[in-house]
Amino acid sequence: MPVALPRTVVVSLLLPPETQVILQGDATSASPDPNSASRDSNSLPGGAVRVAFNATSIPVDATNLQLKNGFGLGPSTGPVKNNFWSRNWSRGTGPFCSSLPRIRVDAPSIPIDAGPIPGDATANRVIPNIPIDARWSQNGMTVAGGNGEGNAINQLNGPFGLFVDDDQTMIIADYRNHRIVQWKMGDTSGQVIAGGKSQGNRLDQLNGPTDVLIDKETDSLIICDRDNGRVVRWSRRSGTTRGQILIDNINCYGLFMDDQRYLYVSDTEKHEVRRYQIGDKNGIIVAGGNGRGAGLNQLNWPTYIFVDQQQTVYVSDNRNHRVMKWNKGAKEGIAIAGGQSEGNARTQLSHPNGLFVDTLGTIYVADSVNDRVMRWPKGAKQGTVIVSGNRQGVGANQFNHPDGLFFNRQGNLYVVDFLNNRVQFFSIQ
């Protein structure tokens, strides 16, 4: 269905220099303006590409921007130059259209200028397009903690959720140390960036944080300060010593911010997920909210959440041992992983936690009590183990209650190994 657009639409994608861009459009509804498209590696990280269209509407395919009658642009040979767009515009199967890799990106189902799209420099996270048959190294590398339980700067104590920034810096909710720590890849110790002043409810303290994310627009952390019953914002600017309460009186567990900067929070007491605009204290229910239970309109101890470009909400329904999918506006959800009672068969989960959904709709979930990470392709009746499943332990190929997980833009996997007090890194192969 065509989507109404302003006359000039600017799309930003983070791409390697050799990548060809294929954008939705056809000769009747969109005309590319090569003079207004350029590669600007100074103002956007990663050598982002800005592409402008002069158009009133562009048909949007909600799953793939490589379209049938697409316009391609990209250099056929030689180095990328700032003006190469004006030389190399081509429609259909021009000489360079088949010679370079193409980028596949989820399209928004809203006007394109209404918010960041995947890969935009202002988006809160870039969702990787992971091949359905991808494999990962089976021996994890410890990239944070791993030095026993403790509160030294090279230790963690019961870590829960994590967020990985574009530069591979890990932001970790160090639950039992009542702090948020930042850990750069390759470092042997972390840095306390919020809390860490003992357990408490002052604005410079945290009490059992379970999840954290980065709001890029304000360059701040948003933290589920669980045992204080609040969600707080903490600036990342140097010298910040206290947070600001965004939401209070909530038994929060998991957080997610979508590309329109709506904040989603799970509540383990009300067994629901709510969506908030920043500054809103009440929010609206987007999953659960019908009391504790196993019905399709209910949740039982929702923990981590994930939200896709269509504002579909995915929930780790921990004590129902399933992952639920709630389409936008739906009154009940769909069980898309587990839900066959608690167990360790490939059709089952046991207290699922960390959750991630890629651009293909594949579910990745930390199956905590089974000490494994599972992959459930879209529509699958059973999952596959992608990491561990080797029983509980401290080995490089083992977990002890995996909790939070995260994929970076390359598809590498980070897993919070809760009771081993470490974060494990598994490279995609």
Q: What is the pLDDT of residues 386-419, one digit of tens each?
A: 999 899 999 999 999 999 999 999 999 999 999 9
Q: For position 305, what pLDDT does the model report? A: 99
pLDDT class of 126 with cuts at 50, 70, 90: confident
Same domain, 151 and 105: no
More confident residue, 170 or 39: 170
Q: Identify whether residues 351 and 399 lie together within a single domain.
A: yes
Which is it for the CA torsion 105, 124, 53, 43, positive or negative? negative
Same domain, 314 and 201: yes
Three-state DSSP state, 95 = coil
Q: Is residue 123 part of a domain?
A: no
Given a contact cutoff of 8 angstroms between Cβ atoms, the answer to whether 402 and 160 are in contact is: no
Q: What is the mean pLDDT of residues 108-118?
A: 31
Residues 76 and 148 in one domain: no
Mean pLDDT of 23-31: 33
Residue 426 has, within 13 A of its CA and on its CB side, a CA count of: 24
Rounded distance between C-alpha atoms, residue 347 and residue 272, angstroms: 25
Angstrom distance (rounded) from CA 105 to CA 56: 22
Strand bridging mode 384-388 / 372-376: antiparallel
Distance separating alpha carbons of residues 411 and 429, to the nearest angstrom: 9
Pick the last residue of a domain from 62, 95, 114.
114
Note whether 100 and 147 are same-domain residues: no
Is the pLDDT at 149 greater than 60? The verdict is: yes
Indicate if 182 and 327 belong to the same structural domain.
Answer: yes
Q: Same structural domain for residues 15 and 148?
A: no
- 292 pLDDT more than 90: yes
- Determine the structural domain holding residue 168 and report its residue range: 141-426
3-state secondary structure of 226: helix
Q: What is the pLDDT of residue 123?
A: 64
Residue 335 lies in a domain: yes
Tell me if 247 is assigned to some domain.
yes
The residue that leads in pLDDT, 119 or 80, is 119
Total number of domains constituting the chain:
2
Per-residue model confidence (pLDDT) at position 301:
99
Query: In this structure, which amino acid lies at residue 164?
Result: V
Query: What CATH number did the domain enclosing 292 receive?
Result: 2.120.10.30
Average of per-residue pLDDT across 284-293? 98
| Same-domain check for residues 150 and 62 | no
**Domain co-membership, 92 together with 210:** no
pLDDT value at residue 295: 98
∠ CA 231-159-281, nearest 5°, is 10
- Say yes or no to pLDDT of 72 above 90: no
Mean per-residue pLDDT over the chain, rounded:
79
The yes-or-no verdict on residue 30 having pLDDT over 60 is no
Average pLDDT over every residue of 253-257: 99
- What band does 84 get if pLDDT is binned at 50, 70 and 90? very low
In a domain, 321, yes or no: yes
153 and 209 part of one domain: yes
Is residue 154 located within the same domain as residue 38?
Answer: no
pLDDT of residue 124: 78
**169 and 95 housed in the same domain:** no
